[in-house]
């Protein structure tokens, strides 16, 4: 399924990468450090949707962001979202498409708790025992029940519910609900 989604979305992703590079003058993709299965750190790739104003950097395909530059809490009016195109990509999750490749690699599952940063783990998940016992996913319960509108305690409860009650029917329910939620753009910024 991930391979089919990746193949179908590749033209959109390539076009979005070209537009992003033209608008930002920076690498079209960024990598954020996250924590995966068993506490193993890995890089999550996304389409760049945020950038500071200033001098253009030399072209590279992916910019690996330092841990300190990863925003812990999303906001509706982040000044680093500098174009309508970037806002569109965030609202409709176009920026998440590179993660389909990571599903193919085996780093992410299609469904699971979202991969989080070390800072999020320390502040919001206090050790994360259960969270680290499963592979993180591209979508999960909080992506279909509020997305960015949810608080960290709400996200944590939904992630833990997903882990504790994982079943084929819950997995299928999340997969079927995700496209409609993404296409609605509700709760995403």
42-56 confidence digits (pLDDT tens): 999 999 998 876 656
Average pLDDT over the chain reads 87
CA distances from 124 to 96, 118, 180 (A): 23, 10, 28
Answer yes or no: is pLDDT of 122 > 90: no
- Tens digit of each residue's pLDDT (9 = 90 or more) over 107-119: 999 999 989 888 8
DSSP state of 164: H
- Which pairs from 2-11 meet CB under 8 Å and 24+ separation? 2/100, 2/103, 2/104, 2/110, 3/104, 5/100, 6/97, 6/100, 6/101, 6/103, 6/104, 9/97, 9/100
Residue with the bigger pLDDT between 82 and 72: it is: 82
Q: What is the pLDDT, as a whole number, of residue 137? A: 96
Contact in structure between 83 and 23 (CB atoms under 8 Å): yes
pTM, rounded to two decimals:
0.85
Contact in structure between 17 and 28 (CB atoms under 8 Å): yes
Angle ∠(63,184,115) on CA atoms, nearest 5: 40
How many residues can be counted in the chain?
A: 189
- Tens digit of each residue's pLDDT (9 = 90 or more) over 150-189: 888 898 899 999 999 999 999 999 999 999 999 888 877 5
For 96, other C-beta atoms within 10 Å of its C-beta total 20
């Amino acid at each position: 399924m991930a391979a089919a989604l990746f193949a179908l979305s590749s033209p959109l992703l390539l076009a979005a990468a070209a537009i992003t590079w033209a608008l930002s003058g920076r690498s079209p993709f960024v990598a954020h450090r996250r924590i995966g299965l068993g506490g193993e750190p890995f890089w999550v790739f996304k389409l760049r949707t945020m950038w500071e104003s200033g001098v253009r950097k030399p072209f590279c395909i992916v910019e690996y962001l330092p841990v300190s530059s990863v925003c812990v809490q999303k906001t509706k009016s982040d000044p680093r979202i500098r174009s309508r195109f970037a806002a569109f990509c965030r609202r409709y999750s176009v920026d998440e498409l590179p993660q389909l490749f990571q599903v193919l690699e085996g780093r992410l599952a299609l469904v699971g708790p979202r991969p989080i940063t070390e800072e999020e783990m320390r502040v919001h998940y206090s050790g994360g025992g259960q969270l680290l016992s499963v592979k993180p996913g591209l979508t999960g319960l909080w992506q279909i029940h509020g997305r960015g509108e949810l608080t960290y305690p709400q996200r944590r409860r939904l992630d833990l519910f997903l882990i504790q009650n994982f079943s084929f029917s819950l997995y299928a329910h999340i997969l079927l609900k995700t496209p409609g939620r993404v296409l609605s753009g509700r709760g995403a910024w």
